[in-house]
Amino acid sequence: MNIAVFVSGKGSNLEAILASAELKGLCDVSMVCSDKLDCPAFEIAKRYKIPFLSVCESEKDGFVTFNKLHQIFTEKEIGLIVLAGFLKLMPKEFVRAFPNKIINIHPALLPSFGGKGMYGIRVHEAVFRSSAKVSGATVHFVNEIYDEGLIIDQAAVSIEDVESPEEIAQRVLQLEHVLLPSVIVKFAQRKIEIKNNRVYLTKKS
């Protein structure tokens, strides 16, 4: 299965996907996309010799439009789009063109601490301020609203003893690097089913 990974930052989740032994032979990262022209994660794409490009809604120098990207993805037979630290909302038309084929990782236990403006360290600051005792990571299907698609899988960690949002970020990122590749594996193995508007991870071999 060919996958496209969307990034906005340093790309540690992209790197975790590329380094995953379980994903080898199952998935190929065929393209890396960003909303930025000089996204730090492009350095990882270069190292792995993966084509990368910058995308935005309207025509702009150095960017392709989402419309064009739709065409490219069809040609490349992209079976899954992974938002791995991509911080822009995708255009509705693009999301509708890939039903249940776009997943996102969020650095908290949704449906808490999500929504517009909740990304990166801001999420961990909100979790820290709340005095929550657990946090974690969520992988969910992407719909037209920030962080509101059906939840596919989650991982949690105790944060009882943390003294800063950065400490939460560190613990959650470690979970993300395991959770995201594992969901992609299940997707590629067709072990993710939607029934009665709930997501089930099937155990079939």
- Going 68 to 3 to 115 to 117, the CA torsion angle's sign is negative
- The minimum distance between CB 43 and ligand GAR, in angstroms, equals 12
- In terms of CB distance, is 103 or 123 closer to ligand GAR? 123
Residue nearest to ligand GAR (CB): 85
- Which is it for strands 134-141 and 102-106: parallel, antiparallel or unpaired? antiparallel
Task: Provide the minimum distance between the beta carbon of 11 and ligand GAR in the complex, in angstroms, as a whole number.
Answer: 5
Q: Which residue has the tokens 């990882």?
A: 44
Between 78 and 84, name the residue whose CB sits nearer to ligand GAR: 84
Only one residue has tokens 């005095």, namely 131
Catalytic hit among 106, 124, 140, 177: 106
Using CA atoms, how far apart are residues 191 and 185, in angstroms rounded to an integer?
A: 9
Beta strands in 133-191 (DSSP E): 134-141, 151-158
Comparing CB distances to ligand GAR, the nearer of 23 and 105 is 105
Query: Which spans of this chain sit near ligand GAR (rule: CB under 6 A)?
Result: 7, 9-13, 41, 84-85, 87, 105-107, 119-120, 123, 173, 176
Entry field: residues in the chain: 205
Query: Is 106 noted as a catalytic residue in this protein?
Result: yes
Query: Which residues are identified as catalytic?
Result: 106
